[in-house]
Structure 1
Amino acid sequence: MTVLDDIIAGVREDLEARRREVPLTAIVEAAAAAEPVRAFDLDADFGVIAEVKRRSPSRGDLAEIPDPGTLAGLYASGGARAISVLTEGRRFSGSLADLDAVRAAVDIPVLRKDFMVEEYQFHEARAHGADLVLLIVAALDPVQLRDFHDLAASLGMTALVETHSEAEMETAIDIGARLIGVNTRNLKDLSVDTARFAPLAGRAPAEATLVAESGVAGTADVEAYARAGADAVLVGEALVIGGDPDRAVAEFTATGRSARSPRIRA
C-alpha cells in the first residue's frame, strides 16, 4: 500500500462518519443554499495560492495555527490569488471548520484541498464555501476524474487537476482541465524533485493555467518554476513556518511576475 492509498483509506473511513451525521440529501441541500462561488480568474497574472497547513506526512507538525482565518487574512493582504485549506484530518490535522473560518475571513477564492474520492465530498465542499477543489489524477480512474471534474463545474467550482507524470498530464488534458497542477512530490515515498516540473509544464496546453505544487522554500524556487512556465505556485510550509506570511506572499508574487515566461509545447 502506498502513502496515497493509506491516506485515501482513512479519508473514506472519516467520510462515512460524517455521512452518518449528515446524509447526502442534506448536504446537497446545504450546497445549494451556500453563498455564491467566488470565481478563480484563470487569466490573472502570476500569483500565489497560499495554504493553511498545520502538518504534513513528510515533515510532521509545522505550525499550530489556532486561527486559520487570521492567517488567511494575512495571506490575502499579501496579495494571494487564492487560499488553499487542507481539510484532511489524520495526516494534515485539517478540518471543515478550518474551511469555514477561512471562507468567512477573506474575499478571495478558497480551495478545499483534500483527497476527493466520492460525490458527497463535492457537495460538502460547496456547502462549506469552497470555490475550488483538488482532483488528484493518481487517486482516480479516468472515468471518475472526468465525472468529478464535471460535477465540480456543475456546482460552480473550479477543479485544480493535479498531475505527477506525463501520462497524468495527458489525462488532465483529455478531460479538458483548464487549471492543472504539477506536483513535484512523489506520492509513493514523499520525496520532492523540482526538476520534474519543467518537462510536464512543456506538455501543458497554452490555454491552461499551470500551478507548481511542492518544493517552494524561497524566492529562488518561485523564480525557477515561473521561468519553466508556472502561472501560480501553491505554497504552504514555507509560509506557515516563515514568520511573516504576508510579506512572503508579496515577495513570491513579485518574483514570479518578474520571471514568468511563455510556455512552449513539447
Structure 2
Amino acid sequence: MEGLASLKAPFPATPFLSSRPRTSILPSQASFRKRSSFLSFSVHAQVESDDGSAVVATSGESVTEVLKIKEWEVGMFQNEVAASQGIRIRRRPPSGPPLHYVGPFQFRLQNEGNTPRNILEEIVWNKDTEVSQLKERKPLGVLKKALENAPPARDFIGALKAANERTGLPGLIAEVKKASPSRGILREDFDPVEIAKAYEKGGAACLSVLTDEKYFKGSFENLEAIRKAGIKCPLLCKEFIIDAWQLYYARTKGADAVLLIAAVLPDLDIKYMIKICKLLGLTALVEVHDEREFDRVLAIEGIELIGINNRNLAFLFGDCRNI
C-alpha cells in the first residue's frame, strides 16, 4: 500500500521497482493551501568562498539570509535547528570526539552522545565523515572543472510523464541495488550495467542507482558505468545527501536526478540544495515518510517531485503505519 491517507485529492503515483516501497508525486498534484509567505525567486549569482564552497544568492533574499545559508553549510547549529523542525536524525555526534582519543578504536572511551540511536543516524554520521574526506581529495573547484566533460542532464520528470502518456500507467523508477542493511546481499552476481539494460528493456521510465558503498554495496562507479553504457533512462543518484558538494559530484558521474531525504535534511538545507540542483540541471526527488514531513516540504519553494516512502527510516523496514 502506498500514499498518504490524509491527501485530499487522488494523484498519479510513480512506484519504484524495488524492495523499498515508495511513491513519487508532483507537488502540484496534491491538494494544499497556498501560503502567502512564499517568495518567488530566481537564481542570479553563485559566489565561491575561500574554502571553495558555494553560496547561492537569489532575488528576494537578503545578504543576511545568504549568510545564514552559508553558516548552515559549514555545520553551525545543525542538530539544534533540525530538532526544532521535528527531525530526529542528528547530522553528527553532538558531544564531539571520544573522551580519550588514544589507542586502538575498540578501547577508546566514547561520549554517551556519540552512539547513533538508529541505523539511519549511523549512516548519516558515516556519510558526514566520508564526504569530508572526499572533499579534501576533490575540492569543489575540481568538480566544477569536471562538469565541463559531464554528459548533459536529461529530463527525469519528463521521462516519468512520457511513460504515463505512452502506457496509461504510472512510470516506473527501477532500482539498481546490490544490498541493504535490513536484507543483506540481494544479488551475488551483481552486474549493474546488465541489470540496467534489463530494466530499460522491461519498460522502466527511469533508474535509481545506489551509490553508498558501506551499507548498500553501491558505488559512483556503477552510476558512471551505467551512464556510459548508453542507457537512455534518466538516472537518479540514490545517495544520502547531506552536503551540496555531493550534488556536484553526482552530476560529474552522470546523474540526472538526486534524492533528498526530509527525515535527514532541515528546510534550509533542502531549500539551498534545490537551488544548487537547478543550477546543475539536476532533478531533486524529495523523499518523505510521514504526513508531517509531507506538509513540511510542500511549504518549500521550488520542489517539483516528492517521493513517499512507507519504511520506518530509523530501522529500514517496511511499516504500513506510515501511510
The TM-score normalised by the length of structure 2 is 0.59
- In the alignment, does 2:161 pair up with 1:43? yes
Deviation at 1:2, TM superposition (A): 2.3
Residue 149 of structure 2 aligns with which residue?
33
* Structure 1 unaligned blocks of 5 or more: 198-266
Render the CA deviation track for 1:159-202: whole Å, top value 9, x for unaligned: 110001112111221124221100110111223124633xxxxx
Corresponding residue SS for 1:43: helix
Counting only pairs closer than 5 Å after superposition, residues 154-169 of structure 1 correspond to structure 2 as: 154-169=279-294
Contact 1:69 1:104 survives alignment (8 Å): no
Letter in 1 for 2:265: L
- In the alignment, does 2:210 pair up with 1:86? yes
Contact 1:135 1:159 survives alignment (8 Å): yes
- Percent identity over the alignment? 40
Deviation at 1:31, TM superposition (A): 2.3
Query: What is the aligned counterpart of 1:113 among 227, 235, 238?
Result: 238
What's the RMSD between the two structures over aligned residues?
1.4
Distance in 2 (alpha carbons) for counterparts of 1:65 and 1:23: 35
Deviation at 1:87, TM superposition (A): 0.4
Counting only pairs closer than 5 Å after superposition, residues 207-222 of structure 1 correspond to structure 2 as: none
- Structure number with higher helix proportion: 1
Query: What is the aligned counterpart of 2:322 among 177, 196, 211?
Result: 196
Residue 276 of structure 2 aligns with which residue?
151
Letter in 1 for 2:137: E
Render the CA deviation track for 1:11-33: whole Å, top value 9, x for unaligned: 12222232232221101221243
Query: What is the aligned counterpart of 2:312 among 157, 162, 186?
Result: 186
Contact 1:65 1:71 survives alignment (8 Å): no
Contact 2:277 2:283 survives alignment (8 Å): yes
Distance in 2 (alpha carbons) for counterparts of 1:170 and 1:65: 41
The TM-score normalised by the length of structure 1 is 0.71
Residue 72 of structure 1 aligns with which residue?
196
Distance in 2 (alpha carbons) for counterparts of 1:32 and 1:39: 19
Counting only pairs closer than 5 Å after superposition, residues 216-231 of structure 1 correspond to structure 2 as: none
Deviation at 1:65, TM superposition (A): 4.6
Letter in 2 for 1:154: L
Residue 121 of structure 2 aligns with which residue?
5
Distance in 2 (alpha carbons) for counterparts of 1:75 and 1:195: 30
Letter in 1 for 2:304: R
Residue 221 of structure 2 aligns with which residue?
97
- In the alignment, does 2:266 pair up with 1:141? yes
Render the CA deviation track for 1:26-80: whole Å, top value 9, x for unaligned: 0122124311101111533111111111110111111135421111011001111
Residue 15 of structure 2 aligns with which residue?
none
